[in-house]
Amino acid sequence: MKTVSDYFGENVFDDRVMKATLSAKVYNSLKQTIDEGKTLDISVANAVAAAMKDWAVSKGATHFTHWFQPLTGITAEKHDSFISPSPDGSVIMEFSGKELIKGEPDASSFPSGGLRATFEARGYTAWDPTSYAFIKGKTLCIPTAFCSYGGHALDKKTPLLRSMEALNKQALRVLKLFGNDTAKRVVSSVGPEQEYFLITKEMYDQRPDLRFCGRTLFGSKPPKGQEMDDHYFGAIKPRVAAFMEELNDELWKLGIMAKTEHNEVAPAQHELAPIYTTTNVATDHNQLTMEIMQKVAQKHGLVCLLHEKPFAGVNGSGKHNNWSIATDEGQNLLSPGETPYENAQFLLFLCAVIKAVDDYQDLLRISVATAGNDHRLGANEAPPAVISMFVGDELGAVLDAIENDTPYQGTEKTQMKLGVDVLPKFNRDTTDRNRTSPFAFTGNKFEFRMLGSSNSIACANIMLNAAVAESLKIYADRLEGASDFETALHDMIKKTIKDHKRIIFNGNGYDDAWIKEATEVRGLLNYRTTADCMPHLLDRKNVTMLTSHKIFSVEELQSRCEIMLENYCKTVTIEANTMVTMAKTQILPAVAKFASDIAKEAQSKKALDSSLSCEYETGLVKRLSVLTDTIASKTADLQKALIKLQDAEGIISESVMIRDDVLSEMCGLRVACDEAETLTAKSYWPFPSYADILFSVR
């Protein structure tokens, strides 16, 4: 029987395969490209392409594709076969270095925010050699970047790679100031925890809102939800366990280090967490993970929901982005060591992150902004829309001591005594964890908890890498010219703490008092919706920073603002139109039919016995009649709000109208429909209830 170690990564053209199939010269040259960013020679590309093709064909592959991540938020692929015609009428299997390095998908049919016109179709994909190729089905998938004919990035991979390079460049400058001349690269690493819901396909197929929108637009609260906390870390049901087992197998074959799996808080909600790896690889792996989750679920008669808030009133799903930075020598630059107060290098990198998060709160909020995530943030299962940082008691005391020039007393290690002799004794961590913080320090990394479950992690890590690179650049510029390095270093750390301590909050982020303190006392930003925050992508300070590090051009930033707002508007418009259709064709007829039948039942009773008052039937019919009128009226109001969108002058104006008018009308319609559901006999209601859906998997 094969063990996991026998088949782990078997469908990946990874370092093991490259060592076995490439000459030493080609392998060493490719490794220099991967590890040090050296330019790839075409002769090396040809050799790699030949070996890659032979390996893929030996595993049954017939096609190859440049696998990329356009601004749709999902992945894209165009398949080409390996076959080429032979003079004798047969075919040969070919794959050149040119085909490996460059592809030409149609760039006019992907979101471009005005960078491409419909008639301007040419675009290019470029091989990312730092992310291993892999086989999916019978296709060799080559991770690539995607750009326009004019060289503008049309994807999420290109700016991510640029941000990683910017961070590397500035971090190396700082390390040299501390005497480290041996590190060649500094790389950010990420481990994204993925939350999701599993429901039966039977239930899914009966809900137009789930099929069209990925979330329920109607639904009353079930009698039992998550109140008993009995689902979190509970025993995994056999059907879900079978799904998880196959999911792990498929992920492991692709070299994705799926590590932890468990039930989450809400009924039907679960989580998968990987071991963290290099950021661009982690991004590729997370996109693959979401895709494979959905495919494996179908094989088990299930549907995997990745929407941030598929069920109102029930915990939604996020994606916790565990981010850290380390050298190619294995030194984690966010590890405090045993004595963080005396670890000046750690303190400077910590301060760089603190400064980055405070200076670019808006960019971090923008990086997680979607219509779906707007429903989740601040809903008491996710952080608020206000950005803050948790550093814990020990680091908080260190920072206070530095700011006030007072002796650091240290945090005494406490041994945990559980009162049972047979249980092991162990030292308690010197700081707790904070699940309510958007950006929490967790020992040697930061956990950015604001990402929505369907988000690409590329966006958040682009902004995080870029903001920290900017902090490090400012530090390096000042320290490189300092006559007294030690004094300048101390003063800089102290000044950063004093200037940016407002962003540090170790308390309960769910508390309404914190939101008031954050905005009214500390002056922190509170962009509650995508429409609120997205236009600030083009604020002067953000454009200046992002363009100075060559992560985006001005045109690319303008296009992304346009695309994200357009996506927001389209998403909500589709939801609103779905609500109108469901209300008109399903809910209103069902409620009216039930009310009519109840009225007939009352008439029949009175015909048998005129003394009967039929108070229950009469009262119910009256309330249902009021509700049908309300639903019809609210549906008409929603349609009017949608029609008014045609008068919007530009995408920003349309997004504001969506936020203020359309979403408000959707909420009003839902309230009436959800009450009608609670009064209508189950046999009449046209689609499964929350109770049906959330408890359907056994």
pLDDT, position 612: 77
When comparing pLDDT for 590 and 106, which is higher? 590
State how far the Cα of 233 lies from the Cα of 237, in Å rounded to an integer: 11
Percent of the chain exceeding pLDDT 90 equals 69
pLDDT, position 610: 78
Residues in Cβ contact with 14 at an 8 Å cutoff, skipping those fewer than 6 apart: 132, 255
State how far the Cα of 10 lies from the Cα of 521, in Å rounded to an integer: 55
Number of CB atoms found within 10 A of residue 473's CB: 21
Query: What three-state secondary structure class fits 144?
Result: strand
pLDDT tens digits, 192-233:
999 999 999 999 999 999 999 999 999 999 888 777 767 887
State how far the Cα of 200 lies from the Cα of 196, in Å rounded to an integer: 13
How many degrees, rounded to 5, is the angle at CA 99 between CA 289 and CA 148? 75
Is residue 104 over pLDDT 90? no
pLDDT, position 559: 94
Is residue 551 over pLDDT 60? yes
From 102-106, 516-520, 658-662, the region with the lowest mean pLDDT: 102-106
Number of CB atoms found within 10 A of residue 570's CB: 13
Q: Where are the alpha helices (DSSP H) in 265-360?
A: 279-299, 344-359
Residue 150 and residue 115 in contact, taking contact as beta carbons nearer than 8 Å: yes
What is the per-residue DSSP string for 75-136? -B--EEESEEE-TTS-EEE---HHHHHEE--BSTTS--TTSS-TT--BEEEEE-TTS--EEE
Question: Please, which pLDDT band fits residue 306 given cuts at 50, 70 and 90?
Answer: very high
State how far the Cα of 114 lies from the Cα of 102, in Å rounded to an integer: 24
To which residue do tokens 């639904």 refer?
Answer: 219
pLDDT, position 416: 42
Percent of the chain exceeding pLDDT 70 equals 92
To which residue do tokens 């990198």 refer?
Answer: 349
pLDDT, position 1: 76
- Retrieve residue 6's tokens: 């026998």
Mean pLDDT (the chain) is: 90
pLDDT, position 284: 96
- Retrieve residue 390's tokens: 């948790």
Is residue 188 over pLDDT 50? yes
* Mean pLDDT value of segment 394-410: 80
State how far the Cα of 396 lies from the Cα of 506, in Å rounded to an integer: 9
State how far the Cα of 231 lies from the Cα of 262, in Å rounded to an integer: 10
State how far the Cα of 246 lies from the Cα of 469, in Å rounded to an integer: 40
pLDDT, position 428: 44
Number of CB atoms found within 10 A of residue 675's CB: 17
Number of CB atoms found within 10 A of residue 494's CB: 16
State how far the Cα of 182 lies from the Cα of 179, in Å rounded to an integer: 9
* Mean pLDDT value of segment 294-308: 97
Burial of 29 (0-12, 13-18, 19+ CB in 10 A): buried
To which residue do tokens 């179908």 refer?
Answer: 298
Question: Please, which pLDDT band fits residue 423 given cuts at 50, 70 and 90?
Answer: very low
pTM above the 0.85 mark?
yes
Is residue 447 over pLDDT 90? yes
pLDDT, position 19: 94
Is residue 92 over pLDDT 90? no
Residue type, position 287, single letter: Q
- Retrieve residue 185's tokens: 């690269």
What domains appear along the chain, each with residue ranges and CATH number?
4-155 (3.10.20.70), 163-215+232-410+428-552 (3.30.590.10), 568-694 (1.20.120.1560)
Question: Residue 199's beta-bridge partner residues?
Answer: 303
pLDDT tens digits, 356-384:
999 999 999 999 999 999 999 988 788 89
pLDDT tens digits, 132-164:
999 999 999 999 998 887 788 889 999 999 999
- Retrieve residue 450's tokens: 């604001």
When comparing pLDDT for 73 and 469, which is higher? 469
Question: Please, which pLDDT band fits residue 86 given cuts at 50, 70 and 90?
Answer: low
* Distance in Å from the first CA to the final CA of the chain: 29
Question: Please, which pLDDT band fits residue 517 given cuts at 50, 70 and 90?
Answer: very high
Tell me which H or E stretch contains 303. Answer: strand 302-305
To which residue do tokens 């749709």 refer?
Answer: 72
